Amino acid sequence: MNNINYRYRLADPELGSSELGLLSQCISEGMISSQGRFVQQFETEFSAACGARYGVAVANGTCALHLALEALGIGPGDEVIVPSLTFIATANTVTHAGATPVFADVDPDTLCISPDTIEPLMSPRTKAVIPVHLLGQPCDMPEICRFAKQRHLHVIEDAAEAHGAEVHGRRVGSFGEINCFSFYANKIITTGEGGMCTTDDAVLADRMRLLRGHGMDPDRRYWHGVIGYNYRMTNLQAAVGVAQLPCLDAWIEKRRWVSSRYRELLASLSNLLYFLEEPPGTRSACWMSALMLKDPICREQLLDYLCGQGIETRPLFWPVHQMPPYKNGSTVFLPVTEDLSRRGVMLPSHTKLSDEDLKIICNSLAAAFSETAGLRHSQANS
């Protein structure tokens, strides 16, 4: 399916002369690996945009999560509470660190975990919680941080999908002890691959810088006091990030407009689908616009129909606790996660979409419902 030449893609990154100009500087200066001025510039400017003091650029968002866990000393014997409704990397990094992911259900109105879904999972081994700002909708971070502080838990924000999202006017990436971002090609800001950890703790920032570069002592070259990783971001990647960052606010506004237009254009189909509402005090980055099907039984036929019209869509994430690496005979039941996962459909959501594009997509979606309804009727009568 990934090889299809879609007319309307889920994501289509904005890349232009600014990115090309800074990449040309890297090449002309011969600074194409992790040594180069753009890495530090991107760290400084991105962390400031989040309202955090320090940024540590890394190779991708998965590396960012793993680095955060390692820097906080989380490992074998520890448990980390994560949502099951997320990309699997959130859980995998906990496993990579030697700890055990414990899967939480989500709030049906936000797709996010909350103190109410975390509390029943607490044990003496619980050391951290990783709230995920799914699809750009931020979790209630003040409440989660208050809950975690009372119970001496570390908080690591997984903000991979939520660059620029806000809670009570404060941006994500500034709430947790360490906060993790991805700059994969489909994200709001991209560096192709790439990631970032933000923090207000200078000691943690230094620890992450040490670990990302093979554990090499910064004051004694080629002396390694700890076992580290090669998690460095290249100067080429950082240059693209520096070029992209000034556009962040404008791109969020465009994505929010796309989301609002979907709601308006599909209002006549309210008997078939619904959208999640933005909770008071939060401001979603609208990384992806997702609709929820009231009857999910023909979702795959719906997606196939849209694919045939040149419109790329995808289902919401599968519950991680049901996947082979984590199921292992488990009887974990997360009713909200399992229900929403069957209903969710992600729609094209990038900044290049015009109003005419959105009308075509929504008309095709209405036709898709008619097509699948006809299919179900014929099946029922056969």
Picking from 247, 266, 295, the residue at the C-terminal end of a domain is 247
Q: What is the mean pLDDT of the chain?
A: 95
Please count the structural domains in the chain: 2
Q: Which of 127, 187, 294, 359 is catalytic?
A: 187
289-333: pLDDT as tens digits: 999 999 999 899 999 999 999 999 999 999 999 999 999 877 889
Residue 12 inside a domain? The answer is: no
238 vs 194: CA distance, rounded Å: 8
Residue 11 inside a domain? The answer is: no
Q: Is the pLDDT of residue 377 over 60?
A: no
Work out the average pLDDT over 109-124: 97
Residue 3 inside a domain? The answer is: no
If asked whether residues 286 and 264 sit together in one domain, one would say yes
Phi, psi of 90 (to 5 degrees): -60, -45
If asked whether residues 167 and 37 sit together in one domain, one would say yes
Picking from 185, 217, 247, the residue at the C-terminal end of a domain is 247
If asked whether residues 220 and 102 sit together in one domain, one would say yes
Nearest 5°: CA angle at 245, between 243 and 247? 95
203 vs 212: CA distance, rounded Å: 14
If asked whether residues 238 and 290 sit together in one domain, one would say no
CATH number of the domain to which 150 belongs? 3.40.640.10
Q: Is the pLDDT of residue 382 over 50?
A: no
In this prediction, residue 125 carries a pLDDT of 98
252-293: pLDDT as tens digits: 999 999 999 999 999 999 999 999 999 999 999 999 999 999
CB contact at 8 A, 132 and 158? yes
Work out the average pLDDT over 2-30: 93
Confidence of residue 1 (pLDDT cuts 50, 70, 90): very low
52-71: pLDDT as tens digits: 999 999 999 999 999 999 99
Residue 204 inside a domain? The answer is: yes
Confidence of residue 373 (pLDDT cuts 50, 70, 90): low
Residue 45 inside a domain? The answer is: yes
- Of 355, 286, 343, 345, residue with least CA distance to 313: 345
Residue 5 inside a domain? The answer is: no
If asked whether residues 133 and 258 sit together in one domain, one would say no
If asked whether residues 112 and 257 sit together in one domain, one would say no
Confidence of residue 378 (pLDDT cuts 50, 70, 90): very low
| Share above pLDDT 90 across residues of the chain, in percent, rounded to a whole number | 94
If asked whether residues 189 and 268 sit together in one domain, one would say no
If asked whether residues 72 and 121 sit together in one domain, one would say yes
If asked whether residues 149 and 68 sit together in one domain, one would say yes
In this prediction, residue 379 carries a pLDDT of 44
Nearest 5°: CA angle at 209, between 204 and 214? 130
359 as an active site residue: the answer is no
Confidence of residue 147 (pLDDT cuts 50, 70, 90): very high
62 vs 162: CA distance, rounded Å: 15
In this prediction, residue 330 carries a pLDDT of 74
CATH number of the domain to which 309 belongs? 3.90.1150.10
By residue range, what is the domain housing residue 311? 248-377
328 vs 226: CA distance, rounded Å: 34
Picking from 247, 277, 310, the residue at the C-terminal end of a domain is 247
171-219: pLDDT as tens digits: 999 999 999 999 999 999 999 999 999 999 999 999 999 999 999 999 9
Residue 382 inside a domain? The answer is: no
If asked whether residues 271 and 293 sit together in one domain, one would say yes
Q: In what order do the strands lie in the sheet with 314-315?
A: 273-274, 289-293, 344-347, 314-315
If asked whether residues 319 and 264 sit together in one domain, one would say yes
In this prediction, residue 328 carries a pLDDT of 81
CA torsion sign, 186 to 189 to 191 to 193?
negative
Q: Is the pLDDT of residue 380 over 50?
A: no
**Which residues make Cβ contacts (< 8 Å) with residue 280, sequence separation at least 6?**
none
Look up the pTM and report it: 0.94
Cα R_g (the chain), whole angstroms? 21
Measured in whole angstroms, the distance separating CA 233 from the mean position of its chain's CA atoms is 19
| Share above pLDDT 70 across residues of the chain, in percent, rounded to a whole number | 96
If you ran DSSP here, which 8-state letter would residue 258 be given? H
If asked whether residues 80 and 114 sit together in one domain, one would say yes
